[in-house]
Chain A
Amino acid sequence: METIDNISWEIREKIGILTLNSPPENYLARPAVLPLETLKRWTACEGLKGLLVYGAGKHFSGGGQPEHLFRMALSGENVGQDITAGKAVLEHLENLTIPVIAGIRGICFGGGLEIALACHIRFCAENALFAFPEVNHRILPGLAGTLRLTETTGFPRALTMILGGDMIDATEALEMKLVDQIVPKSELFDHAFGLLKKMTHDRPLSVIHGVMNAMHNARNLSREEAMKEETRIFCMLVREEIRRTHENQEP
């Protein structure tokens, strides 16, 4: 296990586990979450088929600490640069071509919620609590959470949550589609890990990447272009499958 900026990384059975690891609140060390190069290095590991983001201890993450941010700004550090770096980190997470699941127990605030929103699937325990409390400090969610929350829950709910700064519980989060499923706390890790395994274990990486790319295209490209890309990926996989069959036939 390797830990950088309060975030730990390990791989179990081809599934990467990214643990927000500074209990009890698992506060983020900095607005940039962790260096992009670190995340890239971790996720580039050969044969990786899925990723689980989890919080150590009782909580997912309380996010960043605004005092840090203000202190950084006062001491002349370039906060904007750090925020931009954080955006790139979450974008990398979001665009990974393996499925990424967030398992959320306890608090999931601010930067923690930003990370969860960059994951492809969110499961939470009954005791999960979600908020973007940034407005209470007269700032806003800075890692594209305003965009991702709007995409996920629709404009009215996102606006209410971001401008109101109020906390919502697991049931509300499920109702507004901020999370995909509520799972008992004690089973959350196994459930999320198990789903990643079930989805990926007997699939070649090329198929996993193909499916994920097609899914991302649905978000990032026009419908027309996304469909064309899907056909291109399909043809590529067909060629690969034919090659594989030939190789197996040869003595």
Chain B
Amino acid sequence: METVSFPTAYSTLTFHLTEGIGLLRLSTPPSNKMSPLFFREFDAVINQIKDAPLVKALVISGAGRHFSSGADLSLLMEEIIRNDKLQDGQMEQTIPESLVGNYQSFSALEALPIPVIAAIRGVCLGSALELALFSHFRFCSEEAVFGLPETTFNLIPGIGGMTHMLELSGKTVALEYILRGKTFDASEAQKIGLVDQLLPRHNLLPVAIDFAGKIPANYHPAKKGRYLKNYFKHDQT
């Protein structure tokens, strides 16, 4: 089996390509917190994948026990006010380019023409859940924990989490979960439409990779339901 890694060295994530399936791992365990550097590297790797015809599908996962506990809030907050200081007394409030960039790289991920599958173990909170929501498929292990806890820090989910949750779970659930900032388990995540498939922990990654490999070449995200039905009807033991 041939495994290819992209030549660029990343320090917050890893990317390996095996038989056409790319495996992207957030790798700053244990919490795989998403730092500003992670967001820059993530943007770079998505751009590489976009231009790499060899990558036929992408699986995103976390190194170690968890997917990710989300953005590093203190660094993020620093970044936002650092910009303000450069304004030199002017009250004009700009949006740091890096934050717009975060949304743009998540959007680029979503727009990839290949299947994108988030394989979620352990915690998946805040921006990490937002990242998962920009993926086309979400599989998780039975002990996974989800949440958009931003409002409990007097903030809101800032990278498209609300829009996606609104689309997937409807207004009532989205409003309640986001305003309360409450965390929820895997079966609840499935019930409210955020997760497509629950799997035993040891099976999660192998199944996600196998599933990715079985999606036909004329992939279209709109046929999502059909791919899931076909695969989990025939292939899962």
> A residues bordering B, Cβ < 8 Å?
99, 120-121, 177, 180-181, 195, 198-200, 203-204, 206-208, 210-211, 214-215, 218, 223, 226-228, 230-242, 244
Q: B103 near A: Cβ within 8 Å?
A: yes
Q: Besides A230-B159, A241-B153, 18 other CB < 8 A contacts?
A: A121-B175, A177-B170, A180-B171, A181-B172, A203-B151, A207-B155, A207-B156, A208-B179, A210-B156, A215-B166, A218-B163, A218-B167, A227-B103, A228-B100, A230-B156, A233-B156, A234-B157, A238-B81
- Evaluate contact between B163 and A227: CB separation under 8 angstroms: yes
What are 17 A-B residue pairs whose CB atoms fall within 8 Å in the complex? A121-B171, A195-B176, A199-B175, A199-B176, A200-B179, A203-B151, A215-B174, A227-B163, A230-B159, A230-B163, A231-B100, A234-B157, A237-B154, A238-B155, A239-B80, A239-B93, A241-B77
- Evaluate contact between B156 and A235: CB separation under 8 angstroms: no
> B residues bordering A, Cβ < 8 Å?
76-77, 80-81, 84, 93, 95-96, 99-100, 103, 107, 151, 153-160, 162-163, 166-167, 170-172, 174-176, 178-180
Q: Which residues of A contact B170 (CB under 8 A)?
A: 177, 180
- Evaluate contact between B158 and A231: CB separation under 8 angstroms: yes
- Evaluate contact between B100 and A214: CB separation under 8 angstroms: no
- Evaluate contact between A237 and B155: CB separation under 8 angstroms: yes
Majority-rule SS of A interface residues: helix
- Evaluate contact between B154 and A231: CB separation under 8 angstroms: no
- Evaluate contact between A120 and B171: CB separation under 8 angstroms: yes
- Evaluate contact between B162 and A234: CB separation under 8 angstroms: no
Residue among A181, A198, A199, A204 with the most chain B CB within 10 A? A199
Given contacts A203-B151, A218-B162, A239-B80, contact A234 B175 (CB under 8 A): no
- Evaluate contact between A198 and B77: CB separation under 8 angstroms: no
Complex alpha-carbon distance, A228 and B95, angstroms: 9
Q: Which residues of B contact A235 (CB under 8 A)?
A: 80, 93, 95-96, 99, 158
Partner of B166, one of A207, A218, A237, A244: A218
- Evaluate contact between A99 and B175: CB separation under 8 angstroms: yes
Complex alpha-carbon distance, A233 and B170, angstroms: 21
Q: B174 — nearest CB in chain A belongs to which residue?
A: A215
CB distance from A103 to the nearest CB of B (A): 13
Complex alpha-carbon distance, A209 and B77, angstroms: 20
